[in-house]
Amino acid sequence: MNESTQNMLRLLPSVNAILEHPGVRPLVAEQGRDVVIGWVRDELDEARKRLADGENNGDRAVILEEIAERLAGCARRADSLRLGKVINATGVILHTGLGRAVMSEAAKAALADVAGAGNVEIDLDTGERRYRGHQLQPAWNALTGCEDSLVVNNNAAATLLTLQALCAGREAIISRGELIEIGGSFRLPEIFELSGVTLREVGTTNRTRLSDYQRAIGSETAAIIQVHPSNYRIIGFSDTPETDELAQVAHENHLAFISDIGSGCLVDVTQYGLPHEPTFSESLERGADVVLGSGDKLLGGPQAGIILGRTEPIELIRNHPLARTVRVDKLTLAALSATLDSYLRGTAESEIPTIAMLAESLDRLLQRARSIQENVGASDQLHIDVHSDTAPIGGGSLPGAELPTAVLSLAAAELSAEELARRLRLGAIRVFGRIQQDRVVIDLRSVLPQDDSKIALAVRLVAES
């Protein structure tokens, strides 16, 4: 290293000098001293390399400012990776990547209430220990008519546990048209294999008759399984037996009948202009012994696998050793209980965001969109249009079904749609939209009304930056 380069390296500020910079001190408080020191050392290494390559960055003060700016970038990248609030403006109400159902205010309050000690597995009347989730049983019974219930951590776990508890070592009959795969490479045949249950496929992809099930029943048959195709549709020349028909065949042959409805729906969604979606109560009324569903889809609660049905099979499932490995924590139970309370009060449409979003009218959405446009104001840097569109429900629910929606279509004078979308995602208010025809679309079908003003501020900040 020549003397000139050594002299240049002496311009590098010390670690302490960087930490005391006015722009860096807040980062220490926000990110932690050790984390920031690691970034500082990395940036000093990079600065040394640039100086050694002959890049003259000026005096020490200039180098210090450059490093402080780079450290701010490190903090922004760290924040973008941190789990936190994002406004879902994609239009997809149940966006899996953004956490599916938005919890109600009551559910959020319940999380805080049970964050300390709670009666998770205790009967406060007797002081005796009970099974986890017993507090929800009266609500499940009132809402669905089930005799017993069990809640686990998701519906995949509910499926695996139910199969293993009721059918392990034997056969279960299922239509070929119901051998689903959902996001994350979850394939039903692999769950059968993992559970130790022999999969007996009947019918064809598009047509399965009741006689197909009847012919497949043998001495090793333990159950008939019906799986609602909640993330795809078979249309055209297709047919499948009704739930009550399958239940009758199962019970005539002393078999269990398991119905997986997928979305965990508790309401009739046809009132919102959507196709019929099976509900827990319908499936139980039509003879299912066990009904499985999700908590964070159309039910509008936290992630959970819900198992409802008759007492005898639910007891077998609850007492299986695998049940403990997939049980839910107190936070999930608290949020789910608060969600069910809204249904019991008959206030789901006003209190549960998922249901409220399904019910929101197009006129109201357009009104909100124009209000946001007005709130953002005119800008030479950003052009905003308001128009109607359609939005899917998402989250493995109501495949192919869409609702009318209102969107704000954004185009920046000096930014590509990709860069504009990126800046909205990474802003102080993180807004996740979609790109459509080289414009960023903010779709209000999936946005809570109380977030409208935040969207306006986020867009305005991007336009002014």
In DSSP notation, 251-292 reads HHTT-EEEEEEES-B-S-GGGGT-----BHHHHHHTT-SEEE
How high does pLDDT run on average in the chain?
A: 90
3-state secondary structure of 117: coil
Q: What's the whole-number mean pLDDT along residues 433-443?
A: 95
Distances 440 to 92, 266, 296, 376, 461 between C-alpha atoms, Å: 15, 34, 27, 15, 15
Q: What's the whole-number mean pLDDT along residues 382-394?
A: 91
Beta bridge partners of 225: 258
Summarised one tens digit per residue, pLDDT across range 264-318 is 999 999 999 988 899 999 999 999 999 999 999 999 999 999 999 999 999 999 9
| Sheet of strand 439-443, all strands in order from the earlier edge strand to the far edge | 382-394, 397-412, 439-443, 434-436
Q: Which of 147, 162, 161 is nearest to 311 (CA)?
A: 147
Confidence of residue 239 (pLDDT cuts 50, 70, 90): confident
What is 105-351's CATH topology? Aspartate Aminotransferase; domain 2 (3.40.640)
Higher pLDDT, 193 or 44: 44
The CATH number assigned to the domain with range 87-98+356-464 reads 3.90.1150.180
Q: With pLDDT > 70 as the criterion, what percentage of the chain qualifies? A: 93
Q: What's the whole-number mean pLDDT along residues 100-109?
A: 96
Q: What's the whole-number mean pLDDT along residues 40-68?
A: 80
Query: Where are any strands of DSSP class E within 185-330?
Result: 186-187, 198-202, 221-227, 256-262, 290-294, 305-309
pLDDT at 32 over 60: yes
Summarised one tens digit per residue, pLDDT across range 116-126 is 999 999 999 89
Separation CA 245–CA 287 (nearest Å)? 9
Separation CA 92–CA 327 (nearest Å)? 29
The domains of the chain are located at: 3-81, 87-98+356-464, 105-351
Output the pLDDT for position 235.
Answer: 60
Output the pLDDT for position 394.
Answer: 78
Q: Are 132 and 119 in contact (CB under 8 A)?
A: no
148-175 as b/e: b if 16+ CB within 10 A: bbbbbbbbbbbbbbbbbbbbeebbbbbb
pLDDT at 231 over 60: no
Q: With pLDDT > 90 as the criterion, what percentage of the chain qualifies? A: 69
Dihedral Cα 377, 378, 382, 386, nearest 10 deg: 70
Separation CA 366–CA 174 (nearest Å)? 45
Summarised one tens digit per residue, pLDDT across range 323-375 is 999 999 999 999 999 999 999 999 999 999 999 999 999 999 999 999 999 99
Q: Which of 411, 399, 456 is nearest to 429 (CA)?
A: 456
Instruction: Work out whether strand 256-262 and strand 290-294 pair parallel, antiparallel, or are unpaired.
Output: parallel
Higher pLDDT, 6 or 399: 399
Angle subtended at Cα 178 by Cα 282 and Cα 92, rounded to the nearest 5 degrees: 75
Separation CA 171–CA 224 (nearest Å)? 9
Confidence of residue 81 (pLDDT cuts 50, 70, 90): confident
Q: What's the whole-number mean pLDDT along residues 12-37?
A: 91
Q: Which of 292, 218, 300 is nearest to 261 (CA)?
A: 292
Q: What's the whole-number mean pLDDT along residues 16-39?
A: 91
Output the pLDDT for position 240.
Answer: 82
Confidence of residue 176 (pLDDT cuts 50, 70, 90): confident
User: What is the token pair recorded at 245?
Assistant: 């028909």
Q: Are 167 and 223 in contact (CB under 8 A)?
A: yes
Q: Which of 205, 203, 289 is nearest to 243 (CA)?
A: 289
